[in-house]
A and B are shown apart, each in its own frame.
Chain A
């Protein structure tokens, strides 16, 4: 009987181990795709840099077109902003049954809002705008670094990323209680994007902020940034929910975001920031920066503003790439190296422009300070006014240094190795090591850091010898069952207590059951989702994969070994995934350990293809670049109408394809464009376009 038990045990443990492996692989897939997606952001930046460096508009139309990409939004002075986003003239019909807000806000308003959102009601645009105006007024008085003390309220609750997942916020309030004079909260950024209820979360958080200003503290996250919002869903959400006033609302949010404080300090001992730190993070500088000048940490420079400067004119005249002080500074870390993904000819042009940059180094240094961060007209800096900034009383650090401080705070990630290096994966901020943390804590006499920004399976994770705590509050972030959310409570002893949760009952079951008996079906759901995303990615790289496979198939037999398959796939996709472990899920049939790669890729294509008459290579390209395309469309679509003209679409596509080195005839483009102009009225609804190719992301 003993032997029997051992035997069964052997089988059982093997079963559990296999499931654990599958679970971890699934996690890896989601994570690597998420970060690879953020890497796309780098490519997008390079595309814009390329445009600035290389593109000479041949007509005034093209010039307008390009400049529109960079001059996103007219600049508003404060008074103009108020006028434009005025809410008082907006009438609220009697038929409106949602909550009505009056100011100053009271706790009853908050409960009314919570109730309304639970019933899936929507707050009227007038109240949204009113709320945003009041929020802005309040935030403007706050310092860059908020201070919280645990002696006034017994403990402080710190929450991490919420990413539009309202259910998680409800769960937190349910488990922990609403904010009140005896219940302090710090929300550590990334309230929006990806999830579908970013608006509701912001409305609730801002409401509580105004009702309990001493107890509720908000930090800015890297997603509180309209450039990021264009890509990751918040812009879309607002426009969908508020078709008439969406534009105004977005404008207000853009302004409110830049007034959010950058950090919170608890008892002078615990620093809460969204991303992390770098070896140059300077709290004194951070305290003094004018944070509202940094509307988007990812902004590109205004091309036309620079050419207005007489000094810059000369440079512009001399070299086409004069403005790459712009291209250089907007994201100094990003555009320094040409990406290896670009074709040599493009790379050569970048090389050339880099050389040109170097030859006008001196003037570049001066222009470097003209980094365009703000949109406001009154902030236009000429060289002479830059000089006057060097007053005796004023700190004389540059805009660029300030910008780097904020970028690092919002985008950095901890790493296990010592040192501090560029965060190339995200395209911004640093990877900082335990030594950087140690030095920083010592310098400012702190006990530990709390940050968010990274999804963690258990909702929280310590690193750097328990000196850095990551707290992540969006459960099931990648997929139902992928991870728990958590929040942390600190009392006067500053010892962290964690509470974990998961917003969905079946999901709770899913992660819990790792340790007990596991219904395989549930794991399969999450897994299937991950593999679907992975197969999409593989399909999008069909041509590159074929080339890679062919390299291993010298005799042109059409088959390669599974080992070579794994190596080839990694060399193309560069996701760092354990392909050999994933192979059984990706490759259905093999013969004697060899794979017929063409038919495998055909199978993949069959799953993805929707419209037969479009060239499959084109489809592949669109797939690969759909996020970027969507972002570009949204930038062009200034009035957020969802429509761009035929011509604009063609121009976008032409530029994009030349940058990506795609062979496409004019006929090819015309065919494509015609096929998606469903109304035949000369306007492209790009939502329809993306929809037509099933390019809109799964969550749609």
Chain B
């Protein structure tokens, strides 16, 4: 099972590996993690990167370092999605006027505020 997980991770990694040298831009890690089925928040992605050992934003991540950390994530089933009904509640929480919808501007505002 572990071998299979590692193969999956390697495949996803290689899709983003532009120069075929087993490294990806650190900014793509979030994308890779998410395309493997996880739902981390931005903060959680940063945590992950810290575990992998990358601090500065302009760096590269090597497959060797990424693989064990990501394997653990998948085995532990970390960063699972919250069920959809909870997601619905989240939208309702933001819908102050209770009108059943949020405008794009409001949504953008909420998502980009820290």
Contacts and interface: CB of A to CB of B under 8 A. Distances in A.
B12 A12 contact: no
Interface string A567-594: 0000000000011110000000000000
B50 interface: no
Nearest to B92: A4
A566 to B, nearest CB: 7
B103 interface: no
A528 interface: no
Interface string B97-114: 000000000010011010
A669 interface: no
Nearest to B114: A2
Contact of A10 (B3, B4, B41, B110): B41
A526 to B, nearest CB: 16
Contact of A12 (B3, B8, B31, B111): B111
A6 interface: yes
A578 B110 CA distance: 36
Contact of A17 (B3, B8, B34): B34
Interface string A15-56: 011101100110010000000000000000000000000000
A578 B81 contact: no
B94 interface: yes
A7 B86 contact: yes
A21 B30 CA distance: 11
B93 A1 contact: yes
Interface string B39-51: 1111000000000
B44 to A, nearest CB: 9
Contacts of B16: 24
Given A8-B91, A416-B19, A14 B39 contact: yes
Interface in A327-341: none
Residue of B21, B82, B110 most packed against chain A (CB within 10 A): B110
A61 interface: no
B90 A8 contact: yes
Interface string B16-31: 1001110000000011
A120 interface: no
Contact of B81 (A6, A10, A20, A416): A10
How many of chain B's residues touch chain A, expressed as a range? 35 or more
Contact of A566 (B7, B34, B40, B86): B7
Interface in B40-75: 40-42
Given A9-B41, A11-B81, A580-B8, A4 B90 contact: yes
Nearest to B84: A11
A530 to B, nearest CB: 14
Contacts of B11: 578-581
Contacts of A8: 87, 90-91, 94, 107, 110-111
Contacts of A417: 21
A3 interface: yes
Contact of A21 (B12, B38, B94): B12
B35 A18 contact: yes
Contact of B34 (A18, A28, A580): A18
Contacts of B15: 21, 24-25, 28, 578, 581
A4 B102 CA distance: 13
Given A1-B94, A21-B35, A10 B14 contact: no
Residue of B30, B39, B86, B89 most packed against chain A (CB within 10 A): B39
Given A10-B81, A11-B81, A578-B14, 12 more contacts: A1-B93, A3-B90, A4-B110, A5-B94, A8-B87, A8-B110, A12-B111, A17-B35, A25-B15, A578-B12, A580-B7, A580-B8
17 contacts: A3-B93, A4-B89, A4-B93, A8-B87, A9-B41, A10-B82, A12-B111, A13-B34, A14-B81, A17-B33, A18-B35, A20-B31, A21-B12, A21-B31, A24-B16, A578-B15, A581-B11
